[in-house]
Every structure is written in structure tokens, then in C-alpha cells.
Structure 1
């Protein structure tokens, strides 16, 4: 474990970003003096729309002030802090703190949102599966997403308030209502003039290195045969686990949180990354780069499912997989499956095993089901509105081509004639 001389300021205080001008900037402080570093040193929370991040790389405040007079280029993980090595072990959050959050679900806005999507039975299962918690001391009805590692250690708790649409609520200054449980507990104890509990004092000494694993990571040992899907937000992982149960759904927590260090539990697994949309495709590009870094750990594929069909407006809004999945009623999402447990698509005499349903698109009175194949490719099979496979009428081929600009060809799904697009195989 490292103790850093310079670290990003803890808490929720934000400053004006020198790049985008938004009040979303977290500044670096000198842990020895408690002073701020020059104003250009820090990180903008708008990772996709701005991405400014300038780290200090000098030993003294005098050098930093002198360097601050010149021109700087934002950096992305290329420079390193000056640090002192220690042998301190990671500190964890006591399980009792997690257990105390397992209540108040009747006021939890995210739980209410889940109930509107899936009903009470599935919502209860999701609460248990992902250990969803409630925290009302900062914002009424806020949700706690617990980061629990593969060994069962509670690494972090993200607190987020949602609005009635299931999206993150905003404060009057435009900042998202998101914080961490350790920040809330620290504030509560200090406000009351109380000493911090020993575990919390030790936890805060980690100098910002709180999220040391993936959200949902503890689910991995129970499903060794399933492929793993990773999205950015815990809320998206939870919702996607219902729509697409063929995967184990995990979340990085942030665009930049997907690192080799946090992905060690994925060793030997088949992993699919589903990055959010961004105006310039930067999120997709960044996770493509991360996939190469993770190649030594797991077999990683970056899905371009959202990128291929997104509109300019959807990119500007930064939609994610959850925004698309929830457009469909869950009961209508899955068409009638082939008559066997094994899904096999035969193309030109060659069999391809189907791994999972990725998404469904409706056109007129038909459904186009995008399947993910075992080889990480995608294909689109055509169904009627009732969920029956379409044979091979030439007139329908013309309709699909006119509406979607895609050529279709005949194949066999579990030995039943079908039509599918071949341009994405």
C-alpha cells in the first residue's frame, strides 16, 4: 500500500475546472501541509465530456508553484505521485455497517424504480443478490451500492440518490447526488464532535484508494461457467442481470475505474465490456484500450452494440445499456426460444453456438433479435410479433432491406429455417 504526498481532496467540495469551466473539479492537496496545490492540478469529474486530469510530479510546493507559471497538458495516468512505501494492509468496512443499511427499502427511490420495472418478487431477489442498501442521512431515500470483493471483504459503499425515472438526482448546482459511505460517516462523527471509530480512521488512511475491486465481484465464484459482462454503473448491472441473465453482471463504477488492479478476480474468464455512449465515442475508445491491458488476465471483448445504432442525441445524452433495455417490457423481451436448450445457428453448413440474447428491435409486426454468439460475434435473427421464427419469404427480405438497409440470408436455428442478417457476423 502507498502513502501519497499529494492526493485529491476528499469529500464533495468542487471547484471550477480550468478546462471546461464547470464546477466539477477536484483539486490536489499536500497531505503534509494541508495546502492546495496550484489551481491547475486536479481532476474533472466530467470524465467523458471533459477528461481534464493533471497530476503533480514535483517534490516541493515551491517547485509546484514555479511549474504552475508555465503551460501544462492534462495527463491520463502517465505520471506518478511522489510517495513513500509502507506495508499497510487494505482496510475494510465492517459487515455490521453494511447490515445496518439493509432496511428502509420502502423509501429507497432506486428500489421503487426496480419495483416499477420488475415487481416485488424480482426486486426482492435483486436486493439480496446485490446487497442493495439504504442511506437517508445525506439525501432521503438514497441507495447504497456495496463493493464486495471476491473474498467477501466490503471495500466501499457508494451512496447515490435517484429520481423517479431511475436516473441520478441532481443538486441545485448541477452536481450529481453521489458520494461514499465513509465520507458520510466521517462527517456525521465530526459534526457531533465524536472521535472516529478505529476502523474508519484506518480506512481513511488509504488516501483515496477505496474501490479496490469490481461491483458485484463476489458473485464470480458461484457461476464459474458464465461469461462476465461489465458496465460502468452498478444500477445498470443490476437491471441488465434481469434482462440478460446469461451473464454475470458487474460494474466498474466509473469510466476510469476499469483497471488491471481492480480486475484481478476475472483471471481466466470470458469478459464482455459494454461502455456507455459518449458524444465523440471516447468512452468506447477508452474501454477498447483497457481491453488490451486486460488481455493478460481474461478473454475480453468490447461490445459495439450501442455504438452501431446510436443517434447523435443519444450520444450527447451519454445513454448506457440500461437506457435501451428498459425500453422493452420484460415479458415481451424474450421471444419463444428454440425447442432445445442448446441454441445453435447454422450458417452455410457451419454451426455457431448462441451465448445470449443481446437486444430486441421491433419493426412493424416483427421482432429482430440480436444474439451474441459464443465466438463473441453478433447476428440478428428475425421473428414474428408472436415470437415465431420467420421462414424465408422474399417479400420480407425486401421490407427489412428498405427499413434497415441490411441484407438478410437464410439459415437454420436449431434445425428450423430462419432469416438473419449477415453483415455483423
Structure 2
């Protein structure tokens, strides 16, 4: 009979296996007393101390996967990974029906009133289309930010009201498509994704073309666009407009977490193939915290160690940390898009602001 008490578990120092967290054969399993792994590649320690270094002891593993009281049952077999419930999806027709009536959409109207004379209306229209910004029938034409994952599946749509004059949110106007259409989508299992996740495919297609040309010209190295991760959908769209205006539309991929608390790389999130964080796996990521949220985002970013290829954090909204001059007012809660809007309103050149927004000079590389 197999024993299951914690004092029978030991760390195996031979026969390393593939690490479920970084994909390298550097993982040392914890073993039962009969020599079988507790959870192959998941319960143990990765020897890549500088790149991964994850350590999941049995107590932590069982805490996340099985009630502690069941560990002492002699009939219990090896713990089985619980498969996450598959997410529900929105019908494409419901999204397509919203991609119109932009004359009623306060956010799109604001974008045109602000950028048309500077960038041209074509760039605004292009970014609204690229990000699949829709118009709801709620609140006289509220904005719909569709959450489309990297495989083109529609997770939901976030419906938000805006003031068309100043572009500010109306906080009392906030809902989700699956909730508004609950009769059409009963028992909806919501698994959100980052706003703009679907753009990775298009950006990588352009990168592949550019890298093929680099190889043809015998130029060393390949380039894959990093993800620029913002808190608000509004910020992602405005930064995308600025990048297109500056002639660098696929150099970076602006995306949004749809809220500060949605950047939460937990143990279970990294293992769930349907979780929104999967789009960041093995990629270079740049975090853009709003003013006053730097420490909070930095702490969350450090949890991406071994999951992302590299993670940086921008200091642009922190005057005490940013090495470059940001020539505009910054208040708590402002995002990088607010800086761009102030620069445009004052007739200042925004490309220097964008090119210097990293600001880390090597010291703000988290992992």
C-alpha cells in the first residue's frame, strides 16, 4: 500500500524531466516512497536558477490541486490534474453587427475629433477596425471592446460609456456582452483574454516577412514584436494610432489587461491553456503601469519569471524614476495615453516621447 504522508516525499536528484513552467529538461521531481513522481514536471524544483528556478513543494502542489484531508486516504491514487472547464464564446454575428454606426459611438467620435487633423481620419478608422471596436445599442451607442483571443475566438465584449467631448469614461455605464445577452448565452463560462490578443497573428506574419528578407540579405538576427501591455483598452488603441502615425505599426503590439487586477500570473493561470496570460508565454513583454501603480505592476511582473522570454516595466509615468523629460502634467491614475493626448493637444512632437517611453536603461528589466 502506498503511503501518502508528507514525510514520505523526497526530492529526486536523478533523472531530470521537462519543466512544465519553462519547457527545459531541468526539473527535479518530488517522489513518493515507492519512487514514482508526485506530479511529473510540476511538483519539484527547476535547476535553471537564473532563468526559471520554480520550486513547488508537495504541500503547495496539493493545496492547489486537492484537499489536504484526502492525502491520507489509502485508496487515493496519484493526484490527477483537474482539467479547466472550457470557455464559452460569443457568436461572430453578434460582434459583426456592432462594427458600424460609429457616428453614434462616443469613443470613436472623440478619436476622430482629436486625431483627424494630425494623423488623418484613415489611421483612426484603421485602428478602430483592427482592434474590432464596436458600437452597442446600450446607452445610446456605448463602445464595445471585443476580447478576441489569439485563435480568433470571441471571449466576450466589454461595453463602456464615454464622453465624446473629452474622451473620459462614464463609470456608471459598464457591462459585458455575455451579460447583456444572457438569454442568448445561458450558463456562459467566462474566461477573458487580453484586449488585442488577436493582433499577435497579424504582427507575427509581418515579422516573418521581414525576417525572411533579413535572411535573404544575410542580416543576422530576427525580430519578433514585443507586447506592450496597458491597463485600459483606450490606451492600447491610442498608442496604436500613435505608432501607425509614426510609421511603426507592427514594431510593438499594444494590448490591454482591462483592469489593473487582471495582471495576476498565478500558478493555476500559467497551467490553464485557456487563461488570458497564455498569450504572453515565451514572449518579450513591456508593462505600462498607470501613474501610482508602478510597484504593484512590478510585483506582478516578477511572477512572470520562467514564463515570458523577457519582461520590462516602463517608468514613463513615474517622474522620480524616468530618466527622460516628460513634458506634460501627470496625475495619479493617468496612463501613457494621457501623455500622448496632452502632447498632441499642445502641438508637441510625440515620437520622442514614444521612443523614450521605455526609460529603464537596463535597470527595469524584471526577468
Query: Taking structure 1 as the reference length, what is the TM-score of the superposition?
Result: 0.52
What is the rounded CA distance, in whole Å, between the counterparts of 1:332 and 1:315 in structure 2? 20
CA distance in 1, matches of 2:361, 2:331: 28
Residue in 2 aligned with 1:370? Answer: 356
Q: Matches of residues 9-88 of structure 1 in structure 2 within 5 Å?
A: 88=85
Q: 1:103 to 1:292 in 2, by over 3 A?
A: same
The aligned counterpart of 1:125 is 126
2:279 paired residue among 265, 268, 282 = 265
Q: Tell me the equivalent position of 2:175.
A: 179
Q: Distance in 2 between matches of 1:238 and 1:159?
A: 15
- Which residue in the other structure is 1:328 paired with? 343
Q: Residues 218 and 182 from structure 1, CA distance in 2 versus in 1: closer, same or farther, beyond 3 angstroms?
A: same
Deviation of the 1:259 alpha carbon = 2.8
| Cα contact 2:103–2:109 (8 A) shared by 1 | yes
Is 2:239 the counterpart of 1:253?
no
The alignment partner of 2:158 has SS state of strand
Query: Are 1:359 and 2:364 counterparts?
Result: no
Comparing both structures, which one devotes a greater share of its residues to helix? 2
Return closer, same or farther for 1:259/1:81 CA change in 2, 3 Å cut-off. farther
Higher relative contact order (CA 8 A, sep 6+): 2
Where do 1:239-250 residues align within 5 Å?
239-244=238-243, 245=248, 246-250=251-255
Asked if structure 1 preserves the Cα contact closer than 8 Å seen for 2:314 and 2:359, the reply is no
1:329-372 deviation per Cα after TM superposition (whole angstroms, max 9, x unaligned): 2996558xxxxxxxxxxxxxxxxxxxxx5617xxxxxxxx7364
Q: Which residue of 2 aligns with 1:222?
A: 202
Q: Which residue of 1 aligns with 2:233?
A: 234
Give the alignment partner of residue 308 of structure 1, picking from 302, 314, 319. Answer: 319
* Counterparts in 2 of 1:221 and 1:87: CA distance versus 1, 3 Å: closer
- What is the rounded CA distance, in whole Å, between the counterparts of 1:325 and 1:125 in structure 2? 19
User: Could you report, residue by residue, the CA deviation over 1:170-210 in whole angstroms, capped at 9, with x for unpaired residues?
Assistant: 4xxxxx32111122222xxxxxxxxx33xx1142xx2xx43
Deviation of 1:376 (Å): 5.3
Residue in structure 1 matched with residue 104 of structure 2 by the alignment: 107
Take 1:321 and 1:80, find their aligned partners in 2: how far apart are those partners?
A: 39
Q: Which runs of 5+ in 1 are unaligned?
A: 1-77, 171-175, 187-195, 336-356, 361-368, 379-425
Q: CA separation of 1:202/1:287 partners in 2, compared to 1, >3 Å: closer, same or farther?
A: same
Give the 3-state SS of the residue equivalent to 2:225 in structure 1.
coil
> Which residue in 2 is equivalent to 1:275?
289
- C-alpha displacement at 1:250, in angstroms? 0.2
1:152 — aligned with what? 152
Q: 2:86 aligns with which of 79, 89, 111?
A: 89
Give the SS at the match of 2:122: helix
The TM-score, its normalising length taken from structure 2, stands at 0.59
1:201 aligns with 2:186: yes
Unaligned runs of 5+ in 2: 1-62, 68-81, 205-223, 270-275, 321-325
Structure 1 333/307 Cα, relative in aligned 2: closer, same or farther at 3 Å? same
Separation in structure 1 between the aligned mates of residue 346 and residue 226 of structure 2, nearest angstrom? 24
1:241 positional shift: 1.0
What is the DSSP-based 3-state SS (H/G/I as helix, E as strand, rest coil) of the residue aligned with 1:239?
A: helix
Q: Which residue, out of 285, 294, 308, partners 2:295? A: 285
Distance in 2, Cα, partners of 1:253 & 1:290: 15
Going from structure 1 to structure 2, the CA distance change for 1:243 and 1:376 (only over 3 Å counts) comes to: farther
What CA distance in whole angstroms lies between the structure 1 residues aligned with 2:226 and 2:345? Answer: 22
Change (3 A) 1:210 1:371: closer
Q: Shift of the alpha carbon at 1:315?
A: 3.7
SS of structure 1 residue aligned to 2:113: helix
Query: Does the C-alpha gap of structure 1 residues 101 and 332 become closer, same or farther in structure 2, counting only changes over 3 Å?
Result: same
**1:79: Cα distance to partner?**
10
Between Structure 1 and Structure 2, how many residues are aligned?
243
Which one of the candidate residues 296, 306, 325 is aligned to 1:296? Answer: 306
